[in-house]
Structure 1
Amino acid sequence: MAQFDALRTGSISGARAAEIDEGLRAHMNKVYGTMSVGMLITFAAAWAISGLATTTDPSLAVGQIGTDTYLTATGAAIYTSPLRWVIMFAPLIFVFGLSAAINRISAAAAQTAFYAFAAVMGLSISSIFLVFTGTSIAQIFLITAIAFASLSLYGYTTKKDLSAMGTFLMMGLIGLIVAMLVNLFLQSSGLAFAISAIGVLIFAGLTAYDTQRIKTEYVAHAAHGDTEWLGKSAIMGALSLYLNFINMFMMLLSLFGQRE
């Protein structure tokens, strides 16, 4: 926060402060723009894949999942075969891989990898179009977007240092992931409800925290002219906010979505 405080209090020269402030706005626009494109890729991929997975023609079906709705061979491979485990954990592997490789690849390669990750995430969550109504998905998405925008705006504008809550939120996130893995085997509806409710709070907090972190990291590195790092930082910042949005959306959908 030191560089950010220096910028805010004016201890950085006026011309340099104005330059950093202008660069910060461009940096945040790139973060939100990259995140938005990733979101578009994810939901387009999820919708397209769900279409390939279902049919209304019984002659093409390998199983029935609803009134006049059948599962195709593609759908059976994605949702009922052992391949589903690969699809489930593929986004997590992508995140770890991109995080580990970010210092060895270019900003352009990192952006391409992010968009590939967004497509894989679309495959992973495509079942929402089979489980929930389209209206419900749209409503929850709108609610999530409004909440996300409000929380991110708070993280960007607040004078309060949110770094202290970062460790607490990360500990909560680790506990949440462990609980989710355990519930894959327990299949407890009560535990699933608790995971979703707590998860919404954790990712809401992370949205504000990550927004402020992205902002302060930009100010710290811009003061030293680390342009290559800043390009990669925008991609990783977009990834952080994207994950917060997707997870908050999925957990709100689990809590309040209307099922088919």
Structure 2
Amino acid sequence: MNDRIRAASIERTGTGAREIDDEARQVLRNTWNLLALTLLFSAGTALMSMANDWPHPGLAITLIGYFGLLFLTMYLRNSAWGLLSVFALTGFMGLTIGPIISMYLAAFSNGHELVISALGATGVTFFALSAFAVTTKKDFSFMGSFLFAGILVAFLAGLAAAIFNLGALGLVVSAMFSILMCGLIVYQTQQIVQGGERNYIMATVTLFVSIYNLFMSLLHLLGFFFGEE
């Protein structure tokens, strides 16, 4: 039995093989389990906000709430309170995305198709990139600094697009985030596999934010190019 488990944890590419150690395997399992729970929880809070027709809290409250809960989660990441904090963070993000989804459903006659397409594309992309990151022998650790710089630039550009209502820039930012989040999924997953990330709470937060931003970016792009009023 142990041999079968160990064999299943070996990454094969071509003729080579690399074994995932027990600790990395456990972190990866815990991360995916917690990620699934937080996605379900955030979906619940999003549905709750939609059912009650709650308005979007606005850019300022969204950023304050997000970064406040993010820093709290980072501070509590090594304690049981970190689990409560990560659910608070992801639940809050669900509350903010609910009104946006409602807006797409109301603004476009094919809004349901747009949302489902964005969800499906996000899910397929995440699973495909996760499988790639776990099985490939190529090292993507070099992408860390590039991703950080790219996300910072995209975030600042997104703020400018939102504040000054720059639609064209907003589309560029969505395209940038779509690419950057794909890279972040691969990078973070491989960090777990290679032992660079041992805290499954922070790994979950990174992957959750990647999925959240990827979905929002794809929804924006689909709405612009394929939305029917």
Instruction: Determine if the TM-score, normalized by the shorter chain, exceeds 0.5.
Output: yes
Question: For 1:76-121, what per-residue CA distance to the aligned partner results, in whole angstroms no more than 9, with x for missing partners?
Answer: xx33xxx524542112321123223435xx1x21111111111100
Name 1:48's counterpart in structure 2. 48
Counterpart position of 1:95: 70
Structure 2, unmatched stretches of 5+, are 1-8, 11-17, 105-110
How far 1:22 sits from its partner (Å)?
4.1
Aligned-partner residue type, residue 88 of structure 1: T
Question: Structure 2 residue aligned with 1:123, among 90, 95, 98?
Answer: 95
Cα offset, 1:23, TM superposition: 4.1
Amino acid of the structure 2 residue aligned with 1:119: G
Which one-letter code corresponds to 1:84 in the other structure? G
- Name the residue aligned to 1:4: none
Residues in 1 aligned to 2:99 and 2:138: alpha-carbon distance in whole angstroms: 40
Conserved? CA contact 2:24–2:195, under 8 Å: no
Number of positions where the alignment pairs a residue of Structure 1 with one of Structure 2: 204
Please state how far the C-alpha of 1:180 moved relative to its aligned partner: 1.2
From 180, 183, 186, the counterpart of 1:208: 186
- Residues 155-214 of structure 1, C-alpha deviations (whole Å, 9 max, x = no match): 111111111111111100010111111112211110000000111001111110110012
C-alpha distance in 2 between matches for 1:181 and 1:250: 15
TM-score (norm 2): 0.81
Q: Tell me which amino acid in the other structure corresponds to 1:212.
A: Q
Which residue identity does 2:73 align to in structure 1? L
Alpha-carbon distance, 1:140 to partner: 1.2
Distance 1:116 1:97 in 2: 10
Distance 2:156 2:167 in 1: 16
Find the aligned partners of 2:40 and 2:112 in 1 and give their Cα distance: 16
- Worse overlay, 164-173 or 131-140: 131-140
In structure 1, the gaps of 5 or more residues are: 1-6, 9-16, 54-74, 221-229
Cα pair 2:27 2:192 within 8 Å, conserved: no
TM-score where L is the length of structure 1: 0.72
Q: What is the aligned-residue identity percentage?
A: 26
Q: Does 1:235 align with 2:209?
A: no
Of the three residues 142, 156, 179, the one matched with 2:134 is: 156
In the alignment, residue 91 of structure 2 is paired with which amino acid?
A
Q: Give the letter aligned to residue 100 of structure 1.
A: Y
- CA–CA distance in structure 1, aligned partners of residues 126 and 98 of structure 2: 22
Q: Distance in 1 between matches of 2:66 and 2:112?
A: 24
Greater gyration radius: 1
